[in-house]
Amino acid sequence: MIKEWNEVLWKRDSSATVSVSTGQAYFGRDINNPDVGDIRVTFNYTPTPQTVSILAVVVGNTFAEFVAKNGKNVSRIELGAVPAANMYEAAQKENKIIAWIVRILAVLLIIGGLKGIFNFLSTIFAVVPFIRRVIAAGINFVCTIIGLIWSLLIFVIAWISYRPALGITFLVLIAALIVLLVMRSRKKKSAAADTTA
């Protein structure tokens, strides 16, 4: 194997060599003076025998990722004798957590983007601090509501075919947010009409 690596490195750079020492292989000219493009690989192993559980496909004398019906690759390793059902359940929990983190981040980015677009309105009224604060608060509220509605609408479109119950729940939430926004704007209009009268 080292001979093959030496041949590959020789083609790239005739002065490069493979140096092996105490669990480490270094591919380059000088191990004490690394250069761009040099590679250092460290090998570790567990000296005492341990039981591990592997979720993979056996290919010859090694393992490969299992390709599911949906085309996704599955491979997992855990210490101890863990049943396959528990390993699948743990992987699904991790995927759910990651999915919700991404969803929350997407909502925050949409709200932040809308605030970034419309914040110039409060800057225009910076001459009068009180008006600026009122406009900034209004912009924050409206952008948050519109951002939530927009995000939930995107989620509903994605979920309606896979998780109808969740999709319908979010449709109801979107309708409630729209009603809240309309009621708030009507209150403002009626308060403005009372002030002028």
**Residue ranges covered by each domain of the chain:** 2-42, 52-82, 88-196
pLDDT tier, 105 (very low <50, low <70, confident <90, very high otherwise): very high
- Return d(Cα 20, Cα 60) in angstroms, integer: 28
Contact 55, 77 (CB under 8 A): yes
What is the reported pTM? 0.58
**What's the whole-number mean pLDDT along residues 180-190?**
81
pLDDT at residue 70 greater than cutoff 70: yes
Contact 76, 55 (CB under 8 A): yes
Question: What is residue 22's DSSP assignment?
Answer: T
pLDDT tier, 67 (very low <50, low <70, confident <90, very high otherwise): confident
Q: Is the dihedral of CA 170, 174, 176, 177 positive or negative?
A: positive
- Return d(Cα 96, Cα 102) in angstroms, integer: 10
pLDDT at residue 8 greater than cutoff 70: no
Q: Residue 171 burial by CB count (10 A; 0-12/13-18/19+): exposed, middle or buried?
A: middle
- Return d(Cα 172, Cα 152) in angstroms, integer: 10
Give kind and range of the element (H or E) at residue 17: strand 17-21
pLDDT at residue 83 greater than cutoff 70: yes
- Return d(Cα 190, Cα 78) in angstroms, integer: 63
- Return d(Cα 32, Cα 7) in angstroms, integer: 22
CA 72 to chain centre: 17
**What's the whole-number mean pLDDT along residues 119-129?**
82
